[in-house]
Amino acid sequence: MQSGKNTMSFRSIFDAGELKSELEKSGVKPSFMPYIWKQVIQNPDAQLDQIPSLPSAAYPLLTSKFKTLTSCVHSAMDSSDQLTTKLLIKLQNGALVEAVIMRYDTRLGKYNGKPRPGGMRSTLCVSSQVGCKMGCTFCATGSMGFKSNLTSGEIVEQLVHASRISPIRNVVFMGMGEPLNNYGALVEAIHVMTGPPFHLSPKKITVSTYSKGS
């Protein structure tokens, strides 16, 4: 754990780099990746060996090296006003990270004296590490110290879990960990989130990072 690597017996199907590499080794086109992800997202009980219309070489690869989800929702707690849902997510190695769904009504208030258009929208706050080495005194995670980096798949899985509770429009990297200290996984996760089948707008993703004043 001190090395910053996460011990995993299976990779997440949402670990894009790993999945692409393994598919190519088996002679399967990486263009199947969004299709595989869509099947998993749409069907919570999806089994990798039962996804239809994949090349035959894909099935033994998927079942031997990957899982649809390597994490699970350990607990979910709603705020009294039902606008916030705190998810405690258990990783494959037993570690726990937090993801928070924050809902807001865009119709509140007025614009140019007229009612605002829109409706309820949800933002997801995701974690990028287990613990954090920055030691910010205002942040509870700072007292934990650094434990491990999340893989890109473990970051994306937070979006998958949350999307099954509320449609997610925005993602903010403001949960556990310093995102830029896990830069490779951060960038890969954002690429997955902004591509098919998630299709989040890049403008709707915010990365909050540590900054030390002079």
The 10s digit of each residue's pLDDT in 88-122 is: 999 999 999 999 999 998 777 656 666 666 678 89
Q: Identify how many contiguous H helices and E strands the chain contains and give both numbers.
A: 5, 12
pLDDT per residue as tens digits for the range 181-204: 999 999 999 999 999 999 999 999
Q: The pTM is what?
A: 0.89
Domain range for 53 is: 12-67
Of the candidates 104, 81, 86, the one whose C-alpha atom is nearest the C-alpha of residue 158 is 86
pLDDT band at 146 (very low <50, low <70, confident <90, very high): confident
What's the rounded Cα separation, in Å, for the pair 56 and 127? 36
Look up the CATH number of the domain holding residue 87. Answer: 3.20.20.70
Task: Answer yes or no: do 135 and 190 share one domain.
Answer: yes
Domain count of the chain? 2
Same domain, 43 and 129: no
**Over residues 167-191, mean pLDDT:** 96
Q: Which of 52, 67, 82 is the last residue of a domain?
A: 67
Q: Where does a domain end: 67, 84, 110?
A: 67
**What Rg do the C-alpha atoms of the chain give, in angstroms?**
18
